[in-house]
Amino acid sequence: MIRARLKGAFRIVRLYWLLISAALRAKMQYKFDFVASLLVESLMGTYDYLVAAAALWRFHTVAGWNIYEVGLLYSVSKIGWGLYRVFLEEVDRFEGYIVRGDFDSVLVKPYPSLFVLASRNFALERLSFVVQGAAIMAISLKGLLPSGAVSLAAIFHLALAVLWTTVLFSAVGIATSAAAFVIVRIEELQVFTQNATSTATLYPLEIYPRWLRNMLLYFIPLGVGNYVPVRYLLGKGGTWLSLAAPAAAALASMAVALKLWRMGEARYHSTGS
């Protein structure tokens, strides 16, 4: 049985890779347009960091964080958000499937519904978030490494933080979309659980009231993905467990999200379309 499951998982991964490759080839038919739009969107999307940078330029630090340190927080969160949107864009748009009755077309496929949704749209234009984050991370590391504020080993932990932040964003996105099985309209819920929280994690949690910090660390634990490990790497608090916390939070959150998705899927009533 284990061998059969592994074989099935390998088949799904292989199919997923083929679909990603096909989507990339389709985008690359218009290479200049794709690259140009990616760069333009990347530049336009840095306004939220520029707002913080302007304040830091004037006051030097915010809650004890300088411009490069905030840049690390920003970059980890922004890259994680971008990767989530690249691979799970259709999950983010799931409300439409319930409103239009299109989820029936997902269920007739011989694959898990989340896989079918994920494979329907690889939003490569969302790589603009990844480009933004990577650029800010490079600038921040260039400013922090010479002073010894962070070590080269921190780059490895930052990469892990990006990975677990991506999983956390995915878990929150799946859990939020699962609510559509019950309440149908989830746009306002997404603003609260995803848009507002993703913006909040771009900055040090010290600037927020305690109730909001607790929400971002325990209820919608996106802050565990970037704030907790980055704070430790910069010597601002925490223990070595701060580096393990993102993995634990991400895996637990994904388990809860998948459970909620299965529960919602079980109560879905076909429209007959």
Q: Which residues pair with 65 in a beta bridge?
A: 62
User: Tell me, what's the pLDDT at 108?
Assistant: 84
Q: What is the pLDDT of residues 40-67, one digit of tens each?
A: 766 666 666 677 677 667 777 778 898 8
More confident residue, 129 or 15: 129
Q: What is the pLDDT of residues 231-251, one digit of tens each?
A: 999 999 989 999 999 999 999
User: Tell me, what's the pLDDT at 46?
Assistant: 67
In Å, what is the CA distance from 134 to each residue of 26, 131, 140? Answer: 24, 5, 10
Q: Return the structure tokens found at 3.
A: 């061998």
205 contact partners, CB below 8 Å, separation of at least 6: 212, 213, 216, 217, 223, 227
Q: What is the mean pLDDT of the chain?
A: 87
Q: Return the structure tokens found at 65.
A: 């964080």
Q: What is the pLDDT of residues 25-38, one digit of tens each?
A: 776 777 766 677 76
Where exactly are the structural domains of the chain?
30-266
Mean pLDDT confidence for 190-194 = 93
In Å, what is the CA distance from 65 to each residue of 60, 70, 172, 189, 206? Answer: 8, 6, 27, 31, 10
Which residue from 119, 95, 107 is spatially nearest to 179, judged by alpha carbons?
95
Per-position DSSP letters for 107-175, written without gaps between them: HTSSS-HHHHHHHH---GGGHHHHHHHHHHHHHHHHHHTTTTSS-THHHHHHHHHHHHHHHHHHHHHHH
Which residue from 179, 215, 172 is spatially nearest to 84, judged by alpha carbons?
172
Beta carbons of 201 and 81 less than 8 angstroms apart: no
Per-position DSSP letters for 172-225, written without gaps between them: HHHHHHHTHHHHS--HHHHIIIIIIHHHHTTS-GGGS-HHHHHIIIIISTHHHH
Quote the distance between the C-alpha of residue 102 and its chain's center: 25
Q: What is the pLDDT of residues 138-169, one digit of tens each?
A: 999 998 988 887 888 899 999 999 999 999 99
User: Tell me, what's the pLDDT at 242?
Assistant: 95
> For the whole prediction, is pTM greater than 0.85?
yes
Mean pLDDT confidence for 185-193 = 93
pLDDT exceeds cutoff 80 at 120: yes
Q: Residue 4 — very low, low, confident or very high, per pLDDT cuts 50/70/90?
A: low
pLDDT exceeds cutoff 60 at 178: yes
Q: Return the structure tokens found at 161.
A: 């933080």
pLDDT exceeds cutoff 60 at 273: no
More confident residue, 232 or 101: 232
